[in-house]
Amino acid sequence: MNIRNIKQTFFFLSAVAMASCASQKANTTVRKPVKESKPAAPVKPVAATPAVTIPAEEVFRTVLPEIKREFRGAWIASVANINWPSRNNLTVDQQKAEAIRMLDLLEENNFNAVIFQARPSADALYTSNIEPWSYFLTGQAGRAPYPNYDPLQFWIEEAHKRGMELHVWLNPYRAHHSNGGSVNSLSMVNKLSDMVIRLKNGMYWFDPANPKTQGHVSNVVKDIVKRYDIDAVHFDDYFYPYATYNNGADFPDSASWNEYVRNGGTLTRADWRRDNVNKFVERIYKEIHAEKNYVRFGISPFGIWKPGYPQGIVGSSQYDELYADAKLWLNKGWVDYFSPQLYWPVESKGQPFEPLLSWWKSENTMNRHLWPGLNTVEVRASDRPTEIRNQIEISRQVLGNDAGEIHWSIAGLTKNANMLPTLKNGPYKEKALVPRTTWLKAVPLQAPTLFINDNGSSAQVSWSTKNIGQVFQWVLFTQYNGVWETEILTLDQLSKEIPKSKDGKTLDAVAVKAIDRLGNESDYTAKKVK
């Protein structure tokens, strides 16, 4: 149901309610002034009593249960056809069918977010006038799907139908993937050759120091945020490339480095590289919110900032190898959520899960969302589902009411037969709203209008609100024998038939509240059922 239909439904229900009230008023007996034929003394007329409507339901105030909150996301990778589409020669119908199966799977297992890779390497799995259609979508860079459709728009609409957020995952600096076919005339490698560097493994990379790189990627991000109804923009761990991409050799940016030195630059080369990325991250964060304040920005960096942080941690240093000062971004609050890739087991000797997560939490000085990335595909454990469940439980203990996680990737949920049952029967047993994003301003939601019609053995409950455009979800509360039950509903669900008795218990009351794009709750409307 689109917004126009929702609004029409609201006005229709309002008209019905008003007509019902008018009918009840017309049938109410009003006392008239008393007249005596032979009064012994003057008698004052009795004032008319206003008509009173006694509704079948009574609006009242109560204490509702707290709504469960936890971010539960899954990465869906398009690069090299890892997840979707599974091949680059699928028909449009096959692509849509695969997407629907994935979204249905996530909805059925109480996930509430999808991290969808729409720009794997300076290409587009969406309609773009800036970059070409992706090789991973159609088998040739620049070739549109036939019949033409917009995959990103399709994913957004289908995710929202299921009450899930859609985060657009973009790789900012990768210009061409080695699995992305031959570089043709439509590739950004050729169109923007003055800012692209070829690596020894066959990949091409935008030079992060080139101002044109930052301007180009900024335009891509702003274009998506402006034109699509997305919930967040997401970057992963690829900033300056891993050294293995260039066969261990240093990143070949001598031209831009020498230009920096000629212009009087005083930073070391490593600090200069980090500064390039820092300025870019800050810029993207501010530009996203300037366009749409409710669209969040998330980054999923490599799980280790530097070896020795915290004590005993060993492994690669994103600070020194990727020139990504992820700790600084978190300290400065240049993200709305942060998902360090903690891809190691709980009992890992060099990279234990809980100490790393706790260290990142200690650096979260601006209290942004901290939702770790979990290696659901191949974490080294004899019983992977139990390992992932344990990591979720540890995250809840460390993070409290702001808990959440992102699973790498959806394949990890499907390739192990016990993974989803372990989650659905354990930590994901109930649906959950995403945690509130309290630092982004939002227009307060109005309490919904609630209608209840008696259908004999059931009550037909419906609701709406005047500011429907700000609503993302509804929460419906039903009370049986004094105990409240909670249900999270999608935006287009504006009514529900509720049994008056269940398991020998009687329906006492109903309440509803609205949830906006940032997880904020409206006030509720509650009515007793008589």
Which residues are registered as beta bridge partners of 201? Answer: none
- For residues 140, 145, 150, 156, the Cα torsion angle rounded to the nearest 10 degrees is -80
If pLDDT is split at 50, 70 and 90, which confidence band does 58 have?
confident
- Which amino acid makes up residue 124? A
Burial 387-417 (b: 16+ CB within 10 A, else e): bbbbbbebbbebbeebbbbbbbbbbbbbebe
- The Cα–Cα gap between 349 and 345 comes to 9
Mean pLDDT on 31-49: 38
Q: Is the pLDDT of residue 13 over 60?
A: no
Q: Could you tell me if 442 and 294 are in contact, meaning their C-beta atoms sit under 8 angstroms apart?
A: yes
pTM confidence score: 0.89
- The Cα–Cα gap between 11 and 365 comes to 46
Which residues are registered as beta bridge partners of 232? Answer: 167, 296
Q: Could you tell me if 123 and 134 are in contact, meaning their C-beta atoms sit under 8 angstroms apart?
A: yes
- The Cα–Cα gap between 269 and 273 comes to 6
What integer pLDDT is reported at residue 45 of this predicted model?
Answer: 40
Q: Could you tell me if 116 and 136 are in contact, meaning their C-beta atoms sit under 8 angstroms apart?
A: no
If pLDDT is split at 50, 70 and 90, which confidence band does 50 have?
very low
Burial 142-174 (b: 16+ CB within 10 A, else e): bbebeeeebbbebbbebbbebbbbbbbbbbbbb
Largest CA distance in the chain: 117
- The Cα–Cα gap between 141 and 88 comes to 11
H or E element, residue 232 = strand 232-235
Residue 50, judged by CB atoms within 10 A of its CB (0-12, 13-18, 19+), counts as exposed
Q: Is the pLDDT of residue 347 over 70?
A: yes
Nearest residue to 525 via CA among 163, 62, 69:
62
Residue recorded with tokens 């455009």: 469
Mean pLDDT on 399-403: 96
Q: Could you tell me if 522 and 474 are in contact, meaning their C-beta atoms sit under 8 angstroms apart?
A: no
Cis peptide before 85 (omega within 30 of 0): yes
* All structural domains of the chain with their residue ranges: 3-56, 71-424, 449-529
Q: What is the CATH number of domain 449-529?
A: 2.60.40.10
What's the fold here for domain 71-424? TIM Barrel (3.20.20)
Cis peptide before 147 (omega within 30 of 0): yes
- The Cα–Cα gap between 504 and 116 comes to 45
- Provide, rounded to the nearest whole percent, the portion of the chain with pLDDT above 70: 89
What integer pLDDT is reported at residue 57 of this predicted model?
Answer: 64
Q: Is the pLDDT of residue 42 over 60?
A: no
Q: Is the pLDDT of residue 142 over 70?
A: yes
If pLDDT is split at 50, 70 and 90, which confidence band does 53 have?
very low
